[in-house]
Structure 1
Amino acid sequence: MKTKVLLYFLLPLLLFSSTSSSLTQEGLYLQHIKHSLSDPDSSLSSWNDQDATPCSWDGITCNPSTHVIASVDLSGFNLFGPFPSLLCRLPNLTFLSLYNNSINSTLPSDISTCQNLQHLDLSQNLLTGSLPSTIADLPNLRYLDLTGNNFSGEIPESFGRFQKLEVLSLVYNLLDSALPPFLGNISSLKMLNLSYNPFFPGRIPPELGNLTNLEVLWLTECNLVGEIPDSLGRLSKLTDLDLAINALQGPIPASLTELTSVVQIELYNNTLTGGLPPGMSKLKNLRLLDASMNRLTGPIPDELTRLELESLNLYENNFEGSLPASIADSPNLYELRLFQNKLTGELPRNLGQNSPLRWIDLSNNQFSGSIPASLCEKGQIEEMLMINNAFSGEIPASLGECQSLTRVRLGHNRLSGEVPASFWGLPHVYLLELVDNQLSGPIAKTIAGAANLSLLIIEKNMFEGSIPEEIGWVENLLQFSGGENRFSGPLPETIVKLRHLSTLDLHNNELSGEFPSGSQSLVRLNELNLKNNQLSGKIPDGIGNMSLLNYLDLSGNRFSGQVPVWLQNMKINVFNLSDNQLSGELPPLFAKEMYRNSFLGNPGLCGDLEGLCESRAEEKTQGYIWLLRCIFILAALVFVVGVVWFYFKYKNFRKASGAIDKSKWTLMSFHKLGFSEYEILDCLDEDNVIGTGGSGKVYKVVLSNGEAVAVKKLWRGKVKECESDDVEKGWVQDDGFEAEVDTLGRIRHKNIVKLWCCCTARDCKLLVYEYMPNGSLGDLLHSSKAGLLDWPTRFKIALDAADGLSYLHHDCVPAIVHRDVKSNNILLDGDFGARVADFGVAKVVDATGKGAKSMSVIAGSCGYIAPEYAYTLRVNEKSDIYSFGVVILELVTGKLPVDPEFGEKDLVKWVCTTLDQKGVDHVIDPKLDSCYKEEVCKVLNIGLLCTSPLPINRPSMRRVVKLLQEAGTEKHPQIKKEGKLSPYYYEDASDHGSVA
C-alpha cells in the first residue's frame, strides 16, 4: 500500500522525465489523464508536449493573469474510462465538466480533494455505485449535476451539509431510498431536481419548505405519495414547481396561491381531488398550469382565466359547469386543453379574438352550440380538437381562411350544413376528421389544394354527389374513409394516382360504374372496403398487384365474371365477395368451409361448398373418387421407388463423409456433465440438424440418459459471406466462438441460456447448450404457431428476457452488453420460459472503459439497432435497451421489426405513426384476447419508452424489469409528457398521452 502511495506522488516526476522538460506540472497531470482514458475520436489530440503550457489545449481555460488552469470542459469529447482523480491535483480548478461522455465505474471518494471546485457536471455518463458522501466536503461547490448516470442506493446524509450549493440535479439515476428531509437544510439551493428516480414510496418532506431561495423544484416521477405539504407555500421565490407523474392525493393546498413568483405549475398525472383552490388570482406571473389527469372536480374558477396564462391544461379530470367567458380575454393564451371533463354550455363567442390560440382541445365534454367564428382571428391556430361533444350548426366560413391549421378533429358532434369550400383545401392540414355528424353537400374541388392532407376521415355523414377528380391530386393521402354517406357516380379515374394510399373505405354509399383502370398503381393499399355500393364489371386484375393488401370487401355490389385465380396467391386476412353476380368455377384453394361466407349470394358461382351450385355436387363426386384411386396407386409406386433410391444414396453419403476423428477433440466444461464428448460426436449427422446459419449448423442430440442438448458446430476458415442470420447483422464476427465461450462460460442465471461445454479440434469447434424445445421467440411469434402465444405467455417471455438482460447489465462484474438482442436470440423452453442466447457479438464493459469504445462496424440486426449506434458506433447498455424495446413491440403487435407493409419505416416508427393516426386498436395483435387490453397497453408504453430516440430517456434494464412487474398491478400506466419525458405523447382525446 505504501508503495502505491509513493508511486502516486512520484508519477508526475516519472512523466516529467519521459517528456519535454518545458511542459508545466499541470500539463504533465493532463497528459497522464489523457493516457488513462480511451479517446476514439482523438478529441485530446491537442494535448501534446509541444507547448510549454496547456492553456491553448482543447477544453482547457486558464486564469489570464496567473496562467494556471481554472476550467476543464470536456463536454461531448466521447471519452471512455474511470473518473480521472488526478484532476483534483490542479490547485486552482474551479470548473469541471465531463458532460456526455462514457465515464464509468464508481465516483471515487477522493473527489473531495478538489477543494476549489465550484462547478461539477458529470451528467450523461455511465457512473455506477453509491453517491460518495465526501462530495459535500467541497466547501465552494455551487453547481452539482449528476444527471443520467446509474447511481444507486440512498442520497448520503452528508448532502444536507452543503454550504454554498445552488444547483443539485440527480435526474435519471437509480436512487431508491425515500426522499430525505435533510435536503431542506441546504438553504442556499436555487434548483433541486431529483426527477425520474425509483425512490421508495414516500411523502414530500415538509422540510423542503425551508428552502426559501429555491427557484426550481422538479420532483417528477419520484414515487411520491400522500398530500402536497402546505410548507411549499413558503417558497416565495419559486418560479417552476413540477410534481407530475406521482401518486399524490388529497386537495391542492391553498398555500400554493402564495407562490407569487411562480411561472409554471405542473401537477399532472396524480390522484389529486377537490377543486382548484381559491386565490389563484394572486399568481400574477403564472403562465402555465397543468393539473391534467387527476380527479379534480367543480367548476373552472373565473379568477383563473383572468390571469395572463399562456398554457392551461386541465384535461382528464371531472370539471363541470360552463367555460368562464373571461377566458376569451386572456391576451397570451396559446394552449387550451380541457378534454375529458364534464364541461357544458356554449363556448365564448369571442374565444380566440384576443389571444393567439395555437392548440385547443375540448374533446370529450358536453359542450353545445356553434363553433366560434373567431377561433382563428389571430391566424395562428394549428390544432383544433373538439370530438365527442354536442356542437351544432355549420363549420364557420372563417375557418376556411385559417392557413395555419394542421390538425382538425370535429367528429362525433351534431354539425350540419355544407363544409365551406375553402375548408377542404387548407394547405397544411394533414388530418381532417369530420366523422359522425350531419354534414351534407359534396367534397369541393378545392381539395386539390390540400397538399399536406394525409388522413381524410368523413364517414357517417350525409355527403353526396360525385367524388371529385381533384381527389387524385392530393398525392400525400394515406387514408380516405368516406363510408356511410350518399356519394354517387363512378369512382374518379384519378384515384389510382394516390400511390401512398393505405386505406380506401367507401362502404355503404351509392357508387356505380366500374373500378378505374390502372388500379395496379395502388401498391401500398392495405384496406379496400367498397361494400354495399352499385359497382359493376369484373374485379380488376390490378388488385392482384397490391402486395400489402390485408382487407378486401367488395360485397353487396354488381361485380360479374369469374373469381380471379390470382386471388389465391394474395396474403389477405379478411376478404368478402358475397352478394354480387360472380359466376363460373370457384378456385380450388377457396373450396373450404372457412371461405363459404365470402362467396354466398352469387347465383352463378359453383363450388363444392354448401350453398354454391349444390345440384352438381353428387355428379362430381363419382369422378373425383375414380381420379383419387388412380392418383393413390401412382403415388404408392413413386413412394416405394423413392425410398429405395434414398436409402442407397444416404448410405453412400455416410461412407463418403467419413467418421469424425474423436481422438483430436479437447473438452472444456462449465457445469457438471453427465455425458462425454464422444457421445456428442456420435450424433452429429444430417438427421439431427435443426438449424443452419452463416457460420455452421445446429444439431439436436438426444443423450443416453434421455435428455436433449443443442450443439452449434462452427467451422474454421468459413467464407465470411452475409448468409441467413448474418445478412440481418450486416457482418460476420471474426471469432464469435471465443466471445460466446468467454461470456456464457462464467454466467449463471435462469434466463440466460446455459452453455454446458465446448469442444475444439483443428478444423471445427462445438458449443453444447441446453436444448430449448420451443425454439426461438421470433420463429414462433411470426409463424402459424403464433396462436400458442397468448398474452400471459408473451408477458412472461418479456419479463424473463428483461431479467436476463438486467443480470448482464447490472449484476455481472464487469457488465456485459449483448449487442444483438432480438426475438430470434430469445429461446423458449418447454414451459415457454425465456432464455437470452447468442453471445457471439457481446462486449464486456470493463473497469477501464476499454470495452466500451466505439466499434469499427455495426453489430446487430436490421430493425433492432438503436439510432445513435448506427452513426456513432458507441457501445453501451442503452443500445441493448432499444433492441429489447423492439422485442416488446413485436410481442404486442405480432409484427416483424422490418416488413414491406411499413414502407420505409421500421416497426418503431410504424407503431408511433399508427398510434397517432388510428389509435391503439390498430397496433395490438388481433390474436390477443381483448380482456388483456389494459395490460397490453401498459407493456406497449414500456416498449415505446425503451425505444426513445434519445438514449438518456431510455430506462435502465433494472428499471424495465420493475416497470414490467408493476404493469399487471398498476391502475393506470405512467403517461409520459412531451417535452420532458417520452417523445411518444399524443395530446388529444382519442390518443391523449397514453395508448390505454
Structure 2
Amino acid sequence: MTSRSLFFSFLFLIPFCVCLNQEGRYLQQLKLGFDDPDGFFSDWVETVSGDGAGDTPCNWTGVRCSKQGTGFVEAVDLSNANIAGEFPAVICRLTGLKFISLYNNSVNGTLSGELSGCRSLVFLDLGQNFLTGELPARLSELPELKYLDLTGNNFSGDIPASFGKFQKLEVISLVDNLIGGNIPAEIGNISTLKQLNLSYNPFSPGRIPPELGNLSNLEVLWLTECNLIGPIPDSLSRLSKLVDLDLSINKLTGPVPTSITELTNIVQVELYNNSLTGELPKLGWSKMTALRLIDISMNMLTGTVPFELCSLQLESLHLYENEFEGTFPEIISNSSNLYELRLFGNRFSGRLPENLGRKAPLTWVDVSNNLFSGEIPASLCNNGRLEELLMIHNSFSGEVPASLSTCWSLKRIRLGYNKFSGEVPVGFWGLPEVSLLELAENSFSGVIGKTIARAGNLSTLNVANNMFSGELPDEIGLVGGLVEFSGGNNRFSGSLPGSIVNLEQLTKLDLHNNGFSGGIPSGIDSLKKLNELNLANNKFSGNIPDKIGELSVLNYLDLSGNQFSGKIPVGLQNLRLNQLNLSSNSFTGDIPPVYAKKIYINSFLGNPGLCGDIEGLCDGENVTKNVGYVWLLRSIFVLTGVILIVGVGWFYFRCKNVENSKECIDKSKWTLMSFHKLSFSEYEIMGALDEDNVIGSGASGKVYKVVLGNGETVAVKKLWGGSKKGESEDLENGSGSGSVLDNGFEAEVETLGRIRHKSIVRLWCCCSTKMCKLLVYEYMPNGSLGDLLHSGKSGLLDWPIRYKIAVDAAEGLAYLHHDCVPAIVHRDVKSNNILLDGDFGARVADFGVAKVVDGKEKGGKSMSVIAGSCGYIAPEYAYTLRVNEKSDIYSFGVVILELVTGKRPVAPEYGEKDLVKWVCATLDQKGLDAVLDPKLDSCFKEEICKVLNVGLLCTSPLPINRPSMRKVVKLLQEIGSVNPMKFASKDGKLTPYYYDDGSDHGSVA
C-alpha cells in the first residue's frame, strides 16, 4: 500500500464532525424556506465539533431547548422577525416542541394537516400573517394545545365542527379573517375554554349558539362584527366567570335581557351598534358589582336610564345614539372612577347632575344632541383631567363656569347651539392645550381676551352668531397654529389687527356681518393656505391688495356689502374661485376679463363705477349715451329674435331624431328613482344643466355643479346618449366610469343605491329617459384627489391631510370588500375617483365598472375586457382578465404611492416603468429621500415611510402577498392613531391594547 493510500485511510479513522444534530438540521430546512431581509437567522449556523456528538441549535436566536438538559427543542419564537415564505411543515418533526410563534410576519400558504403531528404543542400563535385556505379540521387532534391564535390572516371556509373536540384548549382567537358559515354549536363542548374571540369575520347571518352558555370557565367572549342576528340568548347568563362580553357591531334584536345582570363577575359589556330595542332592565344591576365599562350605544333603546346602573362604580358609560329620555340619574356623581360619559344623540332632558365630576377623574364628556337645560356643572374639571367637553345642540344656559378657565387639560370644547350668555371668563380663551373651541350660536357677549396668546394648540376657533363686540386683540396673531377662524354675525368693530397675516396655517377666515372698518392688512399674501375669505357686510374700505391674487389655494372670496373702492385687481384671474362676490361696494374701472361673463353678473352688482356691461363694454366707447342706449336696445331685440329662431330650430331637429319627440318636451317622461329623502325635484335639476355649470367632462358624459333653490349644492353626471367607445371599456387615465353606458348607469345605480358608508360618495337619485340619464350625487367642493394632488393646489395637501385621505378611502374599500354581501369590487380605483369634501374627507366614487364577486369562482370573476386606468391595473388582471378584491388592493396601493411621492401613476420620466416600478428602483438606487414628495414636512418622515411600506405591500406582484383591505385599514390606523383603551388578552391574562371604533363621537358639524 502506498503512503498516500495509508494517509487517506488514517483520515477515515479520526472522529471528526462538522454537523448538527437532527433537530438542528430540521431548523436549517425551516430557515431555507424563508426570505430573511433583516438577518434574523444570522446565527443559525453550524459549528465545528470534534467529539462526535452533533451540535444543538439551543443557542440560536428564537430557539429554546428543554431545561432537562436533553437538548430537545421546546420553543421556536420567530415573532416580529420580518420573514416571508410558506408555513414550514418541517417544524412538526421537532417531537418535543411545545411553543410556536410566527406572529407578525409575512408567512403565506396554507396550513396542512401535518401540523397535527406537533403532538406536544401547547402554544401556537400564527397571527398577523397571510395564511389562506380553510382551517385544518385535524388541529383538534393536538392533545396538549391550550393557546391557538390565528388572528389577522386570510383563512376562509367554515370553522370545523371538529374544533369542539379540543381537550385542553383555553384560548382561541380567529379574529379578522375571512371565515364564513355560522359559529358551530360544537364550540360549546370545549369545557376548558377561557377566551373565545371570533370577531371581525364575514360569517353568514346566524344566531349566537345557546350552547356557548355551557362554557363554564369562559372569561372573555368577543363576537364583534360576526353578522349575528336574533336575540341575546339567556343561556349566556350561565357564564359565571365571564369578565368581558363584546357582541358589538352586529344585527342583534330584541331587548337587553334581564338575565345579563346575572353576570356578577363581568367587568366590561359592549353591545354597541346593534338593533336592540325596548327598555333596559330596571332591577338587577346592583348584583354586577365588578362592572366598570358598559357600552350599549348605537341601538334603538328607549325609556329612562336605571338608577341601579348609575349607582355602580362605573369608569366608562356609553349610551349615545339611542332614544333614551328623561333626566339623568344624579347618583352617577358618586362614581369615583368615572372618566368617560358619552350620552349624545338621545332625548335626555333636565339638568346634568350638579356634582358631576366632583369625585371622578372625568376625561371625556359628550352630551351633545339632547334636550338638556340648565347650567354647566362647575365641578366637571375638579380632578384636572377633563380633555373633551362636548355639549352642542342642547338648551344649556347661563355662563361658562369660572372653574373651566383653569382647566389646563382641556383639548376640545364644543358649547355651540345652546342658550349660553354672558362674558366668557378671560382665562378660558388662553387654555394652552385646546385645539377646538366652538361657542357658535349662543348669546355670549364681551370681547375675545388678550389671553388667547397662550392658546398655543388652538387650530379651530368658532364664535359665530353671538353678541361678541370690540376689536379683535392683536394677540390673535400669536396663535400660530390657527387653521379656521369663524366669527361671523357678531358685533366686532375696529380694524383687523395687522398680526392676522402671521397666521400662516389659516385656511378659513369668516368675519361677515360685523362692524369692522379700515382696509385689508398688507401682507395678506403671506396666508398661503387661505381657502376661504369672507368679510361680507362690514365697513371695510380702501383697495383690495393686488397680492390677494397670489393666494393660490383661495376658492371662496366674499367682500360684498362693504365700502371697498378702486379697481378690481387683475390678479384675481390667477385664482380658481368657486365663489366670488364683490357686490355692493364702490369699485370702478374694468372687470377682469376672466370674470366678464354673465355667470358672474351677481358678483358685481351695486358697483356703479364699474363698466355697465358685464362683457366689458363701457359707456365711453359709444358716440353718445343716448345713441348707445338705442343701439343697445335694438341689438338686444334682434339678438333675442335670432336666439329664439335658432333655439326653436335646434329643438325641432333634435327632437325629430328621437323615437318619440314628445320626450323632449313632456316632463312626465322622466323616471325618478331616489335613494334618500330629497328636498328638490328632478325639474329643478334639469333646469340647471347649462354649459356655465359644467365642472368636468369625460368619456361617459359631463358633470355639472347645481346650486339648488334651498342653497344646497349637488353634482349631476349627465351620461351621453350613446357610447363613445363601442363595446370597449376605458383605459384612459382621466375618464369616467369607462363602461358601456347603459351598463355603467345600471352598475352605478345598483351599487350606490344600496350601500351606505361615510367614505362612499352618496347617490341622491337618478333620472332617466330613453335619450338621457342623470345621476345626482352629493357635491364634493374640493374635487378629486388626482386633480388636487397633481395641480398647483397640491400645497393644500399636507401630510396629515394625505394620511386622513388614505385612511378614509381604505375604509370605503374595506366596506365594499368585507361588509357588502356579496362583495363589490370597484375595478377602477384611482386618485381621480377619490373625491374630497370641504374638510378633505375622502369618498370613493365612480362605480360604473364595479362588479359583484360572490366568491364561488376560484381565482376571481372572469371579465371579457379590461377595466381600469393606466398605471393602476394589477399585473395579474392584465393577463388573466380575472378580477377579485386583490385587484382593487393593488390599485389602492398605487394611490398610496401617489400620496407619498406626489407623482402621477404614469409619466414620461419613468421611461418604460410605471410609478410602482419607479419607486422600487429608486429606493434601491437612491434611497428613501429620492422618493418622498419634497413638499411634505420632514417632521413626518417616519410616519410617511410606514405608509409607503403599506403601499408597497399592496402593490406586491403576487396577489396572495397583498393584505386584505380590512388589514390595510388596520395597518394605516396603527401608524397614525392613539386610540381609546380596551381590554384584550394574548397570554391568558387580561392586558390593555388599543382600538378605534372609527367614529368621532359628538363631532357634529
2:152 alignment counterpart: 148
- Write out aligned runs for 1:201-280 (5 A): 201-277=205-281, 278-280=283-285
2-side partners of 1:988 and 1:86: how far apart?
53
**Residue 948 of structure 1: which of 957, 969, 993 is its match?**
969
2-side partners of 1:111 and 1:381: how far apart?
52
Structure 2 CA distance for partners of 1:859 and 1:477, relative to 1, 3 Å: closer
The 3-state SS of whatever aligns with 1:241 is: strand
Structure 2 CA distance for partners of 1:952 and 1:325, relative to 1, 3 Å: closer
The 3-state SS of whatever aligns with 1:399 is: helix
Deviation of 1:842 (Å) = 11
- Write out aligned runs for 1:669-748 (5 A): none
Deviation of 1:329 (Å) = 1.0
The answer to whether the 8 A contact 1:151-1:173 is kept is: yes
2:61 alignment counterpart: 58
The answer to whether the 8 A contact 2:433-2:455 is kept is: yes
Structure 2 CA distance for partners of 1:386 and 1:228, relative to 1, 3 Å: same
The answer to whether the 8 A contact 2:356-2:380 is kept is: yes
Deviation of 1:24 (Å) = 1.1
Deviation of 1:323 (Å) = 1.0
Deviation of 1:860 (Å) = 7.4
1:42 alignment counterpart: 39
**Residue 571 of structure 2: which of 539, 554, 566 is its match?**
566
1:70 alignment counterpart: 74
**Residue 181 of structure 1: which of 185, 188, 200 is its match?**
185
The answer to whether the 8 A contact 1:239-1:262 is kept is: yes
Amino acid at match of 1:116: S
The answer to whether the 8 A contact 1:945-1:953 is kept is: no
Amino acid at match of 1:948: V
**Residue 554 of structure 1: which of 545, 548, 559 is its match?**
559
The answer to whether the 8 A contact 1:485-1:508 is kept is: yes
Deviation of 1:520 (Å) = 1.1
Amino acid at match of 2:247: L
The answer to whether the 8 A contact 1:777-1:824 is kept is: no
Tell me whether 1:347 sits opposite 2:352 in the alignment.
yes
1:694 alignment counterpart: none
The 3-state SS of whatever aligns with 1:86 is: helix
Amino acid at match of 1:990: V
1:687 alignment counterpart: none
Deviation of 1:796 (Å) = 2.1
The 3-state SS of whatever aligns with 1:250 is: coil
**Residue 539 of structure 1: which of 541, 544, 550 is its match?**
544
1:589 alignment counterpart: 594
Deviation of 1:50 (Å) = 1.4
1-side partners of 2:831 and 2:1004: how far apart?
34
The 3-state SS of whatever aligns with 1:384 is: strand
- Write out aligned runs for 1:158-197 (5 A): 158-197=162-201
The 3-state SS of whatever aligns with 1:312 is: strand
Structure 2 CA distance for partners of 1:86 and 1:839, relative to 1, 3 Å: closer
> 1:392-421 CA deviation, whole Å, 9 max, x = no partner?
001001100100000000000000000000
**Residue 24 of structure 2: which of 23, 27, 30 is its match?**
27
Deviation of 1:864 (Å) = 5.0
The 3-state SS of whatever aligns with 2:969 is: coil
Structure 2 CA distance for partners of 1:117 and 1:865, relative to 1, 3 Å: farther
2:765 alignment counterpart: none
1:88 alignment counterpart: 92
Tell me whether 1:123 sits opposite 2:127 in the alignment.
yes
Amino acid at match of 1:453: L
> 1:414-443 CA deviation, whole Å, 9 max, x = no partner?
000000000000000000000000000000
2:324 alignment counterpart: 319
Tell me whether 1:985 sits opposite 2:989 in the alignment.
no
2-side partners of 1:950 and 1:538: how far apart?
52
Structure 2 CA distance for partners of 1:125 and 1:435, relative to 1, 3 Å: same
Give the TM-score taking structure 1 as reference length: 0.67
Amino acid at match of 1:242: D
> 1:586-608 CA deviation, whole Å, 9 max, x = no partner?
22222211010100100100053
2-side partners of 1:350 and 1:313: how far apart?
19
Deviation of 1:82 (Å) = 1.8
Tell me whether 1:423 sits opposite 2:437 in the alignment.
no
1-side partners of 2:166 and 2:185: how far apart?
14
2-side partners of 1:905 and 1:504: how far apart?
27
The answer to whether the 8 A contact 1:124-1:952 is kept is: no
Structure 2 CA distance for partners of 1:837 and 1:30, relative to 1, 3 Å: closer
1-side partners of 2:619 and 2:113: how far apart?
89
Give the TM-score taking structure 2 as reference length: 0.66
2:287 alignment counterpart: 282
The answer to whether the 8 A contact 2:87-2:111 is kept is: yes
> 1:41-77 CA deviation, whole Å, 9 max, x = no partner?
2211111111721000010001122221110000011
Higher relative contact order (CA 8 A, sep 6+): 1
Deviation of 1:32 (Å) = 1.2
Tell me whether 1:514 sits opposite 2:512 in the alignment.
no
1-side partners of 2:431 and 2:844: how far apart?
48
1-side partners of 2:731 and 2:416: how far apart?
59
2-side partners of 1:111 and 1:709: how far apart?
47
> 1:781-820 CA deviation, whole Å, 9 max, x = no partner?
699xx9xxxx9994524734x869x99995499xxxx9xx
> 1:112-165 CA deviation, whole Å, 9 max, x = no partner?
110000101111111111111110000010000111111111111110101100
1-side partners of 2:964 and 2:119: how far apart?
44
2-side partners of 1:255 and 1:433: how far apart?
43
Deviation of 1:838 (Å) = 6.5
**Residue 524 of structure 1: which of 523, 526, 529 is its match?**
529
The answer to whether the 8 A contact 1:364-1:989 is kept is: no
Structure 2 CA distance for partners of 1:544 and 1:952, relative to 1, 3 Å: closer
1-side partners of 2:490 and 2:542: how far apart?
23
Structure 2 CA distance for partners of 1:460 and 1:303, relative to 1, 3 Å: same
Deviation of 1:542 (Å) = 2.5
Aligned pairs, number: 724
> 1:935-991 CA deviation, whole Å, 9 max, x = no partner?
xxxxxxx9996762516989xxxxxxxxxxxxxxxxxxxxxxx97655743121517
Structure 2 CA distance for partners of 1:519 and 1:981, relative to 1, 3 Å: same
1-side partners of 2:877 and 2:896: how far apart?
13
Deviation of 1:276 (Å) = 1.8
Structure 2 CA distance for partners of 1:389 and 1:20, relative to 1, 3 Å: farther
2-side partners of 1:952 and 1:606: how far apart?
56
Q: Which has the larger displacement, 380-389 or 20-29? A: 20-29
1-side partners of 2:242 and 2:430: how far apart?
47
Deviation of 1:25 (Å) = 1.0
The answer to whether the 8 A contact 1:591-1:607 is kept is: no
1-side partners of 2:900 and 2:96: how far apart?
44
Q: Which runs of 5+ in 1 are unaligned?
A: 1-18, 626-689, 691-704, 713-723, 729-774, 827-835, 845-850, 868-878, 884-896, 913-941, 955-977, 992-996
Amino acid at match of 1:372: P
Structure 2 CA distance for partners of 1:803 and 1:313, relative to 1, 3 Å: same
Amino acid at match of 1:57: W
1-side partners of 2:1000 and 2:391: how far apart?
15
The answer to whether the 8 A contact 1:20-1:49 is kept is: no
1:296 alignment counterpart: 301
Tell me whether 1:480 sits opposite 2:485 in the alignment.
yes
Structure 2 CA distance for partners of 1:902 and 1:201, relative to 1, 3 Å: farther
2-side partners of 1:621 and 1:147: how far apart?
83
Structure 2 CA distance for partners of 1:614 and 1:781, relative to 1, 3 Å: farther
Deviation of 1:476 (Å) = 0.6
> 1:892-917 CA deviation, whole Å, 9 max, x = no partner?
xxxxx9998999999x99xx9xxxxx
Q: Which runs of 5+ in 2 are unaligned?
A: 1-15, 49-54, 635-698, 700-724, 733-785, 791-826, 903-914, 920-931, 948-962, 976-991
1-side partners of 2:303 and 2:592: how far apart?
65
